[in-house]
Amino acid sequence: MRVALSGKAGEAGSGRLSGSVTIPSVEDLVELSPRDSEEGKALAAIGQAALARGEVGVVVLAGGMATRFGGGVKAVVEVVPGHSFLRLKLEEIHLAAVDAGCTIPVFLMTSFATSDEVRSAVGDVIRPQMPIEILEQSVTMRLTQTGGLFKDASGKPSLCATGHGDLLPTLRASGALASFRKSGGRMLMVSNVDNLAATLDSRVIGAHCRGGKGVTVEIVGKEPGDRGGIPAWVDGQLQIVEEFRLPAGFDSSRVPYFNTNTFLFDAESIDREFDLDWFPVLRKVDGHDTIQAERLLGQITAFLPTQFLVVERHGSDGRFLPVKDRNELDVRKREIQALLEGLGIHDGIHFP
């Protein structure tokens, strides 16, 4: 296990990459063709065929808590009256399965804090074309800033999940990945539960099939305030690099793209162990600064050949619509309504 200190939790400069880090060129990236273009239609045909053959599964990352929504489980936060993030995600997958005349298995990665509520919510949306399996990721304990065990107000160790990078070992340890492959599954689309725009677009599936890489990661044009992973060359490997790991003096604003945390994984390629780093992350708990260890899913691009797919952020072809708090939900009401109407799941769903 490798432990890399991030700039947030370690001393200045810790966790930074020491190798050669350079900016990708336009030729290093692949733009997703518009839906109505000839190329877009060709990609959609490839993706639709893969769906019809039962080769595609879906992973929804649902382990997070809705701290910026006032607490509770993020997956079951109501987005529109009577419909949560999770319910809308599952409805879209079900419609894709019906449209393709296939079965699409769904894997929900939960945490110790979200499993019960997610399991309860799933009971209301069971569909024959959409078998659902809940996979609970690992749990660890928070530390104080001096390295001691942090205890909550009741005197018990403060537990936390281990980040979305825990998906890969969880898929293997649970047996879900082996079963998926045995049943003919070849690729898994992965997205955050709060990104409703990360749908089962057959063009994206087609682009992944055509690219022939172990991973396809969706990236979008940056906007003010975006922080996170960017595509960069590191010692000859094009990969997602978190900004806190960039060498001192590296101007990340020169890279106009941003990681959406939406992936397509080749199931065979990820069926092995990966030595992902553990990054200490600062979290405020009960008014105290604590440190918790997390792995980041984007780091898989450092281990596998990756296609970087530039997708639209807004509009009818937009694929990045995360909602992190109530204010963002209010701001994006119109976009979400248009998205639901485009997906055909808007009947009876209207914002007040």
pLDDT in tens, 265-289: 999 999 999 999 999 988 888 889 9
In terms of residue numbers, what domain contains 126?
Answer: 2-338
Worst-scoring range by mean pLDDT, 63-67, 164-168, 267-271? 63-67
pLDDT at 12: 32
DSSP state of 110: E
DSSP state of 165: G
Q: Is 200 among the domain residues? A: yes
Q: State pLDDT tens for residues 189-218.
A: 999 999 999 999 999 999 999 999 999 999
Q: Is 351 among the domain residues? A: no
pLDDT at 286: 84
Tell me: pLDDT of 133 over 80. yes
Q: Is 349 among the domain residues? A: no
Q: How many residues are listed for the chain in this entry?
A: 352
Q: Is 343 among the domain residues? A: no
Q: Is 186 among the domain residues? A: yes
Share of residues in the chain with pLDDT > 90 (%): 67
* Count: domains in the chain: 1
Q: Is 352 among the domain residues? A: no
CA distances from 205 to 166, 189, 274, 308, 309 (A): 23, 8, 24, 13, 11
Q: Please name the residues in contact with 48: beta carbons below 8 A apart, sequence gap of 6 or more.
A: 100, 202, 205, 206
Sign of the alpha-carbon torsion through 173, 174, 180, 186:
negative
Q: Is 151 among the domain residues? A: yes
pLDDT at 68: 65
Write the CATH number for 172.
Answer: 3.90.550.10
The pair of structure tokens assigned to 13 is 């400069």
Greater pLDDT, 2 or 32: 32
Q: Please name the residues in contact with 223: beta carbons below 8 A apart, sequence gap of 6 or more.
A: 258, 313
Q: Is 235 among the domain residues? A: yes
Tell me: pLDDT of 314 over 50. yes
